[in-house]
Structures are given as structure tokens and as C-alpha cells.
Amino acid sequence: MDNPNPQNSGPQPPRWAQRFLRWYCDSDLMDEVQGDLLEMFQLRVNRFGARKAKFLYIKEVLQFFRPATINRSRFSFKYPTTMLSLFKNYLKVAWRNMLKSKAFSSINLAGLAIGLAACLLIFQYVHFESSYDQFHKNNPDIYRVQLDRTYPDRHDQSAGCTAFLGPALKEEIPEVRDFTKLWGTSHVNNVMVYENESHLEESLFYADASFFQIFSYPLVSGDPATALSAPYSIVLTESTAKKIFGNEPALGKSIRYSGSFGTDNYRVTGVVQDLPKNTHLKFNTLVSFQTLVQQTDGNAHNSDGWNAFLTYLLLEPGTDPDQLSAKLPAFVDQHYTRYFENGTKVALHLQPLPSIHLKSNIRFEPGVNGSNKIVRILLFTAIFILGIAWINYINLATAKAMERAKEVGVRKVVGAEKGDLRRQFMTEAVLLNLIGLVFAVAIALAALPLLNQLTGIQIPAFEFLRDPKTVLILSGIFILGVILSGFYPAFITASFSPTRVLSGEKGAVKGINFRKALVVFQFSVSIILIAGSFIVSRQVNYMMKKDIGMDIDRTLVLKGPGVIDSTYEQRLAGFKERMNQYGFVSHTTNSTAVPGKEIRWVNNSVRWARQPENNLVSLPFVGVDDDFFNTFELPLISGRVFDEQHQAESNKLVITRAATHLFGFETPEAAIDEEIIDNGDKFQIVGVVDDYHQESLSFDYRPIVFRYLENASSYYSIKFNTDQLEESLATVEQEWNASFPGNPFSYFFLDEFFDRQYRSDQLFGRLFGIFTALGIFVACIGLLGLSSHTVQKRTKEIGIRKVLGANTEQILVLISREHLGLILVAALVGTPLAYWIMTQWLGNYAFAIDLHWYYFLIPIGILFVIAMLTISFHALRAALANPVEAIN
């Protein structure tokens, strides 16, 4: 059949399909097959149109791709038995080559095993951090509401929202199926009393009746639908119930609870399983929200000025959160009008439940969250370490290529094709990586208890293997790494010219420049890791040692009594008076908050009396007695502090410097004697103190207002004038038990308590430092192998140079200068990248160190010294060897 004229105008078959046909089709069949297909294409164009004709053409081209029509010269088709025999041979040769080059095989295995083990450990930690709140059945449809307020001079983000928000959203937005709100009491002292035995509970929340319908915390006993419905109902975790009731059944029992709103009897209506570690809501006790509604005369249900409620929404299945978010501005315009009049901008945002732990670090969080940036940095560190290990393999394999060049040449002469050789070298790469993976699993299992001890969490061994998505990603990374690390050496080695190789021509082996580029990449990554670890350590050290603006050393803090009666004022006064009589005590003070924790007493309707009524601001308040400022040595800028000798101190205020800016005072002196109105009540400013760090250095100075509360009961702070703190503690406990019987003695040292805020930063610093050290070690293993190969390759040259008079120092320079030059290039590449990365990380802190030039020079120097020591191991052996033996 004649071939249609290719110049014929009109529709033509797809070009790629024609090229594919010419590529695979046997030359003897090509003309006939192509002619038939083109003729049928033209007929179909006339009958069906061009679009369907092209589709049918492609279909038939693909259908012709079969063993009977393919070009045998392009495809080496072997039967399964032949392939199996070849594969066995590949494995046998690969194993023999590994045994033949024990040193290089050991170096490769060590690098791969350590690199893969480090990755497995990091992946386990990252997977655990990323698994928070994934266990909830409704987690795709659960969102927390975030309240953002932008004032003229600051921006405030909070998980705490107004009381009316949940009910209003459910009523007005049909996509909201249900809601639950919680109010935490970690700022007050919760005492449970059962059979005259008291227990202090740290994590207690008031929760709506819908709590267990939204969240998947299974109840061991009780009905989840009604457990939190009635007032004065209480739900305990298993461990809390056992602590209070022992082995007795807790359900239905009565317990006396003393907290924020006095003392009442409560009935245990449920026992919930102990919470998993990977939940951002950590509680021991839940109290029905209707209890709080009754105790606050309905304010907890509909107040628009109490912004301390965590509000979670359960959306209708299939709801697009973006479409729901688009309705929130109109909702804000309707319900938050009182904020707009003074220029405050208000916005509501939806936070997906699983993202809260890693992506939310705002006010009123129920606990300390993780950091998505830290997780990403650790993840990239793992990939970098693994990349270094694979680069080691590539470099060492290509460096060994000359030793195997004659083997390749002989095999080509006797008929081996490039494909056979590539498969042989790929088999070696796969075998070495698989053996390395086995060792890596063993190392990771052995090191996991150390990781758990370091992080303070119990990560189950290889828990991430239960997640198909994670397994797929990790398998893909491993397979891709094996292919990339094995393909290049196989490609280079299989491309040797047999005549040039067998004649010993130097240019027969290629890839040296690429190998140098990989070494530069290794060194660049090493510089980034060392600089990063050094800067993280400096930042953490800076935060822990920076003056916070007040004296918190040698300060013992007692959590105030939860069980109190009408004699509390006398008991408190007596306790403070007796404590101040001891020689080891310099001050005793009581307050509603202490440094190191977020202030939960926030008033939203505060203004300067001279400003318009609608010019309201939101401010945290701290209730203190008259000795608070002397105890903590807060510097007074203007005016005076509280003094019980003055009359009517209860309507006086002391504010911080930041608060003067927020109110609009030009100077601290201008604030003295000015009136502040809080929810209609008038207060007079009598003093201004300097700013201090109430929380960690991640946050800027907070504007704070101090009110005189002589009988504040949340915290008692005792300043010691001795370093014998533990010895003095027994005396304090005796006085406590005598003054406040029935209240547990709970205490902490304030400096240690304040530093707990930096635990996550310290953990990150330690993890990053450990894995940086592992990465550098793996890089050094590779450098050791390369230097060994360099010395081995230049043995005769070194011998001749020594015979001609070269000394040891000259031999060291000869061997090391190439590698040290690569370090210099790596420094030029890695230093700017390290500077950019660490600048981004330091941006998370309101107070951060300055990045001095020597922060980057030191890592380069460290890498230089490590490299010199590594190279010198083989270089010195070569320099001190007998030159006659080397030449022979």
C-alpha cells in the first residue's frame, strides 16, 4: 500500500505518535504499518472528524507495541529464567566486589547506616509532632475560632473568644452543625476533696455538653451524651479518678471541689480514658459548662466582654472552610461594632484542628504547642544527612572507577553491553543500600529510647509505618536516592571506552568535576548545619541569661489555697507575718499572676478618662499586694507603688511603660494622677514601672496594669536571702500546713518555672546539635574514603617526591590542598544560605541575637580543622612511609 503524501494538506496524525511508532517498530514492518495507519487516519477524518481520527490513530499505535513488532536492536528481550540467572550473577559479583574492597565498602555502609538511622529517628519525631489530634473521628470538620484584633499600635491574636460566639455562629451560619466552648482554670488553684483528703488538679476545664459529641475522647464509664449536661457535673480521667478514689468505682460519687467560684459538691458523671500524648487539649478534669453559667449569672453564656473561651466548631460534612470564612466578616460587622469606633479592626479566622499544635502560638492557648518551622528544619536536616550519605557513595564509587576500569574494558571486549554493565553497578548500589538500611533500623531501634528520654515523650517504634501516606513518601525518597546514587556511578563506569581503558589512558575515567561539585555541596551543607547549630545555641543561651527586667532569683512560689473560708484574710496576714520573721526570708508577697505564664485576667473595656467613651483597649491585669514591687525589684519610673498606709489603694493603679504608650500618654510622668475607666469603674494611676518580660523573649513587652488586691490568693512568692533553698523549704511547708489546713502544698522556684518556657527551644537546640554532629560525621567518613583513595592513587608520586627531597609538611599540603580549596568554595556558597536561613528562624523572636560575622567564620574554621584532621590520617601515613616501597 502506497504511503500517502506527507505534504498533503489537512489534518495530520499527532507527531509524537508518529515518532513513537518509528522508534519502536521493526524496520521490515515500518513502511507497511505506517502506510496502513495513515490511510485509515485520512478515511476516519472524512468520516468522524479530526479529533476522533487522532484518538483512534494513537490507540492503534499503542496496540501495535508488542513483541512481534518491536525493533529487536532496541530491546534486549530475555526470558525470565535468563533474567533470573543474570540477577543471581549480578548479586554474586556485587558481593565479591564488596568483600574485595572491604575498606571502601565499610566506609559506604557506615555512612549509609548512620545517615539512614538519623533519618528514621527524625522521621519518627516529625511524624509524632504532625499526628496531633488526628485520632478524632470528626477531625476534618473541626475548626477552632481565632480572634484577631488590630489596634493602632499593635496586633493581638488570641484563641480566647467571647462567650456568645459559639451560639451565635451556630444560629446564623447553617454550615456550623455544632460547637463546644471551654474555659480553662490553670491560673487558679483547683482542689478536690474526697473523704478529707485533698488533691490539687492542674488541668481543669469547663466544657459544653456537646464536648464528647465533637471530640473522640472515649469514656470508660458514663454516657457521653449527658455526662456534661447538668450543672455541677464533673468528668475525670482514669488516672485522676484512681488518684482520688483508689480502686473504687468513681461514677456517681460526690466530690467537693474548690476553685474560681468558691466551694461546692459535684457528682462524677463520667470517667474518660487517659488522654493520648498527641493532643493539644490536655486536661485531667472537665466540669459542665452549665455550672459556670450559674456561677456567673449567665455571663459565661452571652457575655461580649469576656474573651477567654476556646470555641470549637463542628462543620457540616463537605463544607468548604474557605466559603464559610468568607461569611465571617459580615458576622463580625454585626456583632463586634463596639470595637470599630476606636479604630480597632477585628477579624475571625478558622484554625483546622490538626494544625493547631504546629501552627498556632497565640494568646490563650490551652498548652504549649510545637513549631512547624522547627519540624521543617529537622526534616530538611534529615534529608541533608541522607543526601550526604548518598553523595559519599557516588564520590567513592566514581573514585574507585579507575580500579575497575580494566574489569569493565575486558567485559566489553568479550561482548558485555552498556545495559548489562549498568545493571551490574545498579545491583551493587541497591545491595549496599539495603544492607545499610538493615543496620540503620537496628541503630534506630537502639537509639529510640534515648530520643524518647531527650524529648520527654514516648514515641512508639516505627509508628509512622502505620500511615500509608508516610510509608509511600519515605519509600519514594529511599528508592529515588538509591537510583540517583547508583545511576551516576553506573553510567560513568559503563561508558568507559575499552581501548582507552586497556591502554591505561588517563582520560578514560570521567566525572571528576561532578565529584568535586558534590563535595562542595557536602561541605556547604555542613557549614549550614554547623552555623545553624551554633546560632541556635547562642539564641537559647541569650534568652535564658537575659535580664527580664525584674529579680526572680531565689524566689519560692506557692500556689495559693483553693479551700478557703471567712478567716482567709487573717490566715494570709498571719502566714506572711510569720514568714517575714525568719532570717532566710527577705520578702513575702501575694498576687494573681507571676512571671513565666500568660496573664489570664484580661479586661476589654478600658480607656483613659480624657478620651472618647468608645476608645476602648484590651489590657491584662495583675492583682498584687503592697510588697510585690519590692519583692521583684521592679524599677519605678514615675510616681509611687502601692502602700498599705495610703487610703483607698483599691482604686489605684500602677502601669508599665508599654501601657502608657497604649493609653496615649506622651511620657510616664504625664500618666500620674490620670483616671482610667474600666467597665464604668474609675481608677487613678499612681505609678509607672519599667517594662519586664512576663513571658518568654519570643514576645514583645506586654502592656500590664497592676491593681491593689491585698488578699490575692493565686500565688504567694517568698524571696529568700540564702542559697540554702531546699533546707528552708521544710520550714515553709510547716507554716503552710498550720495556716491553710486541707490545702495541698504545691510550689516551684520561679527562675526554673520561667525557664520552662524555653524547653522547646532547648530541645530543638539539642536535637539539631546531635543530628548536625551525625551529619558532619557522615561527611567526614566520605572525606576519609576520598583522602584514602587520593593517597593510594598518588603513592608512587609521593615516593618520588620524597626521594627528591620533599618533607612531611610538603606532602601534607600536596594531598590536602585540593580538599581545602573545595572547603573555601563551599564557604562562599554555604555562608549566605546559612545567614538567610538563620535570619528567618530568628524572626520568630521579639528579642534575638545579632548575627555577627564570626558566627559564620567559626563554623568554617571548625569544618577546616575537622577536614584537616581527617585528611591528615592518611596523608601522614603516606608522608612517613618508606619511599622505596612506594616506588616499587
User: CB of 782 within 8 A of CB of 111?
Assistant: yes
Q: Phi first, then psi: what are they for 421, rounded to 5°?
A: -65, -40
Q: Phi first, then psi: what are they for 880, rounded to 5°?
A: -95, -5
- For the cut 80, the answer to whether the pLDDT of residue 72 exceeds it is no
User: CB of 431 within 8 A of CB of 91?
Assistant: yes
- For the cut 60, the answer to whether the pLDDT of residue 6 exceeds it is no
Residue showing cell 514591687: 629
CA distance 272 to 219: 4
- For the cut 50, the answer to whether the pLDDT of residue 5 exceeds it is no
C-alpha cell at 736: 503552710
User: CB of 710 within 8 A of CB of 858?
Assistant: no
Give the range among 146-160, 200-214, 247-261 with minimum mean pLDDT.
146-160
Question: What's the mean pLDDT in 376-397?
Answer: 85
- For the cut 90, the answer to whether the pLDDT of residue 356 exceeds it is yes
The Cα-based distances of 154 to 86, 307, 611, 620, 698 in angstroms read 71, 18, 19, 14, 15
Q: Residue 2's pLDDT is what?
A: 44
Going by pLDDT thresholds of 50, 70 and 90, the confidence category of residue 137 is very high
* 304-344 pLDDT per residue, tens: 667 788 999 999 998 999 999 999 999 988 888 766 666 67
Q: Residue 210's pLDDT is what?
A: 95
Q: Which residues of 763-796 are buried (b: 16+ CB within 10 A; e: fewer)?
A: bbbbbbbbbbebbbbbbbbbbbbbbbbbbeebee
User: CB of 528 within 8 A of CB of 862?
Assistant: no
Q: Give the rounded percent of residues in the chain with a pLDDT score beyond 70.
A: 88
CA distance 771 to 704: 41
Among 825, 826, 820, 765, CA closest to 388: 826
Going by pLDDT thresholds of 50, 70 and 90, the confidence category of residue 505 is low
Give, rounded to a whole angstrom, the gap between the first and last alpha carbons of the chain. Answer: 73
How far from chain centre, in Å, is Cα 701? 25
∠ CA 36-42-48, nearest 5°, is 120
* 191-200 pLDDT per residue, tens: 888 888 888 8
User: CB of 148 within 8 A of CB of 277?
Assistant: no
User: CB of 834 within 8 A of CB of 527?
Assistant: yes
Question: What's the mean pLDDT in 217-244?
Answer: 94
CA distance 386 to 118: 8
Rounded (10°) CA dihedral 807, 808, 812, 814: 20
Q: Please, where are the H alpha helices in 400-508?
A: 405-413, 418-455, 468-494, 498-502
C-alpha cell at 210: 456537646
- For the cut 70, the answer to whether the pLDDT of residue 415 exceeds it is no
- For the cut 60, the answer to whether the pLDDT of residue 500 exceeds it is no
Is residue 636 classed as helix, strand or coil in its secondary structure? strand
Q: Residue 10's pLDDT is what?
A: 78
Q: Residue 7's pLDDT is what?
A: 46
Q: Residue 849's pLDDT is what?
A: 93
Q: Which residues of 725-737 are buried (b: 16+ CB within 10 A; e: fewer)?
A: eeebbeebeebbe
* 236-256 pLDDT per residue, tens: 999 999 999 999 999 999 999
Query: How many CA atoms lie within 13 Å of 500's alpha carbon, on the beta-carbon side?
Result: 11
